[in-house]
């Protein structure tokens, strides 16, 4: 990995939830390259361990830790491991999140005939499963709030303490079909602003990155066909992205490093930074 620039994170401890995924594993590697000791938290410990092993093999310091961001006891146990092996948290990246099919409609628009001629293969707004909606909202919003409750206690009055949440372009303009995910990410952006104000007197800065469209393990089957070509939805996304392509995970690193570096962004607080190839700037005309 080649960093766009390097910052000095020596003696800093970074905790990354969802660290086994494509985007957050890239964050972990970048922070480690800058000298941070990195705790990679993931529900699937084998994924977290794999990222940690790669970092350690490159001369960095990292551990994989099993954690469920929806369970406070699991997070407290993870914190004990982190504090014992690496030390208390300085940088918290809340990256755990995702969508669920039960919070997704089949079509972009509601058509009267889909209500009159019921088809089990078509999920309309009226068929959305409340449990699916709840799962998506909890994973993204509660899964940001709870890790912050657990790890931010150690960050109070620490120089350079910073929290970076992962929002989405859905928070600005909701995509069709995924009301639960869009609403949950809007909550993450709002929570970022609220938390920035709340923590401002104890020296913790709070910001968020809102990625545009990146190919990840979670969305790959939605955006690419088995032969590697783009699906209709992917083509529509690209038609609305002025740069005409999906982002690469490494293209988020510069924004992340800027936000976590006190010297570069010490007065930046409560912001949500789009990294979207111009998607949010384009009117479609």
CATH number at residue 48: 3.40.50.720
Rg (CA), the chain: 19
Tabulate helix, strand, coil % of the chain (nearest 5): 45, 15, 40
pTM for the whole structure: 0.95
Nearest to 169 by CA among 230, 101, 269, 240: 240
CB 110 within 8 A of CB 124: yes
Residue 282 forms part of a structural domain: no
Q: pLDDT digits over 20-68, tens only?
A: 999 999 999 999 999 999 999 999 999 999 999 999 999 999 999 999 9
Residue 4 forms part of a structural domain: no
pLDDT interval class at 177 (50, 70, 90): very high
Instruction: Give residue 194's Cα distance to chain centre.
Output: 18
Residue 285 forms part of a structural domain: no
pLDDT value at position 218? 74
pLDDT value at position 222? 78
Range of the domain at 55: 13-101+132-212+247-272
pLDDT interval class at 241 (50, 70, 90): very high
Q: 181 catalytic, yes or no?
A: yes
Query: For residues 225-257, b (16+ Cβ closer than 10 Å) or e, as one string?
Result: eeeeeeeeebeebbebbeeeebbebebbbebbb
Residue 106 forms part of a structural domain: no
Task: Tell me which of 109, 181, 230, 282 is the catalytic residue.
Answer: 181
Residue 226 forms part of a structural domain: no
**Domain count within the chain:** 1
Residue 240 forms part of a structural domain: no
Residue 200 forms part of a structural domain: yes
């Amino acid at each position: 990995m080649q960093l766009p620039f390097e910052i000095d994170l020596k003696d800093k401890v970074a905790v990354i939830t969802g660290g086994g995924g494509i985007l957050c594993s890239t964050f972990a590697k970048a922070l480690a390259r800058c000298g941070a000791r990195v705790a990679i938290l993931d529900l699937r410990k084998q994924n977290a361990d794999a990222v940690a092993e790669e970092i350690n093999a490159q001369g960095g310091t990292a551990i994989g830790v099993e954690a469920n961001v929806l369970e406070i006891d699991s997070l407290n146990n993870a914190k004990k491991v982190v504090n014992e092996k690496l030390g208390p948290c300085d940088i918290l990246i809340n990256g755990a999140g995702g969508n669920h099919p039960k919070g997704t409609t089949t079509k972009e628009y509601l058509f009267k005939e889909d209500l009159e001629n019921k088809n089990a293969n078509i999920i309309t707004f009226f068929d959305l499963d409340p449990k699916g909606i709840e799962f998506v909202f909890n994973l993204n919003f509660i899964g940001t709030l709870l890790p912050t409750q657990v790890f931010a206690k150690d960050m109070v009055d620490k120089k350079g303490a910073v929290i970076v949440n992962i929002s989405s372009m859905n928070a600005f303009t909701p995509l069709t079909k995924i009301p639960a995910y869009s609403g949950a990410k809007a909550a993450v952006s709002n929570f970022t602003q609220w938390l920035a104000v709340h923590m401002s007197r104890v020296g913790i800065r709070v910001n968020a990155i809102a990625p545009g469209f990146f190919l990840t393990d979670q969305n790959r089957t939605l955006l690419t066909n088995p032969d590697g070509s783009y699906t209709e939805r992917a083509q529509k996304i690209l038609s609305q992205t002025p740069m005409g392509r999906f982002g690469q995970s490494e293209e988020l690193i510069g924004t992340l490093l800027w936000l976590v570096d006190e010297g570069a962004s010490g007065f930046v607080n409560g912001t949500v930074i789009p990294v979207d190839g111009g998607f949010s700037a384009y009117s479609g005309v």
